[in-house]
Structure 1
Amino acid sequence: MLRFDPFTDIDPLTRSLLVAQTGSPRRPRFMPMDLYKVDDHYVLHADLPGIDPGSIDIDVDAGVLTLTAHRSHSEDDVQWLTSERFSGRYRRQVSLGENIDVDSISASYDNGVLSVTLPITQRAKPRRIEITSTGSPLGGGDRTPIEA
């Protein structure tokens, strides 16, 4: 009986793509991040350990927030035995809704975590609208606030 395992050939190929060769710099695959809403703003946390804060760039263009950072190995003339830490350019893009106040976005970098605060515009916040009666048979001119 002949057994055929299609994963026998795929496993070494997958391993070669995911594991760096000794002595070669590795490219970062992604920038892990969390995004959540608190009260009247969103908060984005992106993990960027070992990044020089001066290499971090945050741009907003056409409703897209772009985070870019760069990390390089400073030891160029050494013989690498293993190189597992990512080096190169990190880049992540997030589409923003039209309810974000792009002029008030702020950011900080602390202990390898980039934190970006994305405030919600005033026009997108819930507010109370007062409705007045003009003497209709249903109301005697009383003002009744309702939440919109």
Structure 2
Amino acid sequence: MKTIILFVTALFLSATITTVSAKTPKRKKYVNTEITETGLVKEYLVQYEGYDPMLKYVYEYDTDNNKKNVTVYKWNGISGWRAIHKYDYTFDGGRLESIVYTKWSRKKENWEKKSEITTYQYDNNGNYLAMNKEIVDYSKNMTAKQ
């Protein structure tokens, strides 16, 4: 009797796993790399098998291979790729100085006026000391520290 129960349980689990894996489409990632005069541009496209593309990540690097920005797009079947948000990076001597995070406004069809800025501080030897986050409202030129 225990053998029958164990067999039926194993059969049920096997069928459940097969059903779940059959319903989960495979995720594909496509990469395009372009070398430009100002650096490198990499595009990553994420798509689930049998569906339209979902997300596109565009990474831009300067000639020193420092990341300049990352912009994330979402596919819209009517209007194509629509920006979601972006990260802009600044470096000083190869050290990350700041990251600016900005959302895309669908209503205004432009980048939001408020951004979150993270700045990094280092000592004279280049050792990391501290991080500071603040919200900047470019429409009012106001800064709110967190």
TM-score range with shorter-chain normalisation? under 0.3
Give the greater-gyration-radius structure (CA).
1
Higher strand share: 2
TM-score scaled by length of structure 2: 0.25
